[in-house]
Each structure stands twice: as structure tokens, then as C-alpha cells.
């Protein structure tokens, strides 16, 4: 069973690591997933899970993934907004697979997945 004692041990173990992490905020990528009724109903939760999982697997500490409310185009949900290099990229009609591709190709390698962008050929 997981106990609070284990969490205390984790705290002590992680204390030394936190400082290193906060330094890397310079080149941060921010990702937002629409999580209002429209997004949730369209499948935003598995998309968010896939983004978190992929970022975790690749140890991407300079990627900040969060959720937001209704982005305003409910029929294009799930919508993922990527803020990178001073630009905003709006990915629409997302799926967990597409989300993993965005992390790999756009966030990591810097190649925008134009097919999935709003107005792109995949939608």
C-alpha cells in the first residue's frame, strides 16, 4: 500500500533535484488542452493523458502542460494549443496518437505538424 510515509521519503529525495529544474524555464514550451464540457465530451482527457505520458517518457522538463476552458470552437475539440518560440499553434480534432506525434515532431524536433493545425489538410 502507498503510504504518506512514502511521500515524505519522496520529498527528501526530490529536494535536491528541484533547484536544477527551475533553472531550465528559459526555453519553455507551454501546452494547453481545452477542458470545458465540449472538450471533455470530445475526448480531451485521453489527449491530455497522452501528452503528459509522452512528455514524461521523454523526460521533457521544459514543457509545461496545463488545461484551459472553452477555446471557442467546440466543434473542433479536442483542441491543443502549443506556445513555442513566441508563436501559438492551434491543433484541432486531436486524438491521443496525434498528441504523441505533436510532442515528438513539434515539441522535441521543432517540425510543426501542419496537417493537424486548424485549417490543415487533416481537418
Partner 1 sequence: MRELALNILDIAENSLAAGAKLVRIAVEADFGADAMSISIEDDGKGMSEEMLARVTDPFTTTRTTRKVGMGLPLFKYSAESAGGEFSIASAPGKGTRVRATYRIGHVDRMPLGDFGGVALQLVTMNPHTDFLIEAAADGQRGALDTRELREALGEDIPFDAPEVRSFLKEYIRENLVDIFGGRL
Residues 23-62 that bind partner 1 (CB under 8 A): 35-38, 40-41, 45, 48-49, 52, 56
Candidates 24, 28, 30, 66; binder of partner 1 (CB under 8 A) is: 66
Nearest distance in Å: CB 13, partner 1: 8
Check residue 67 for interaction with partner 1 (CB under 8 A).
yes
HSE on the CB side for 39, CA within 13 Å? 24
Of 64-72, 75-83, 85-93, 99-107, which part binds partner 1 (CB under 8 A)? 64-72
Nearest distance in Å: CB 67, partner 1: 5
- Dihedral in degrees, nearest 10, Cα atoms 67, 73, 77, 79: -50
Distance CA 78, CA 80 (A): 7
Q: What is the DSSP string of 94-115?
A: --HHHHHHIIIIIIIT----GG
| Binding-residue total with partner 1 (CB under 8 A) | 29
Nearest distance in Å: CB 102, partner 1: 19
Distance CA 24, CA 118 (A): 30
Amino acid at each position: 500500500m502507498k503510504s504518506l510515509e512514502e511521500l515524505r521519503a519522496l520529498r527528501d529525495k526530490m529536494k535536491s533535484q528541484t533547484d536544477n529544474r527551475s533553472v531550465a524555464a528559459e526555453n519553455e514550451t507551454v501546452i494547453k488542452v481545452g477542458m470545458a464540457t465540449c472538450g471533455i465530451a470530445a475526448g480531451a482527457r485521453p489527449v491530455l493523458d497522452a501528452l503528459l505520458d509522452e512528455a514524461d517518457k521523454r523526460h521533457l522538463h521544459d514543457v509545461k502542460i496545463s488545461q484551459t476552458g472553452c477555446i471557442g470552437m467546440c466543434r473542433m475539440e479536442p483542441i491543443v494549443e502549443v506556445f513555442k518560440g513566441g508563436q501559438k499553434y492551434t491543433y484541432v480534432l486531436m486524438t491521443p496518437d496525434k498528441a504523441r506525434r505533436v510532442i515528438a515532431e513539434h515539441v522535441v524536433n521543432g517540425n510543426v505538424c501542419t496537417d493537424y493545425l486548424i485549417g490543415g489538410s487533416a481537418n
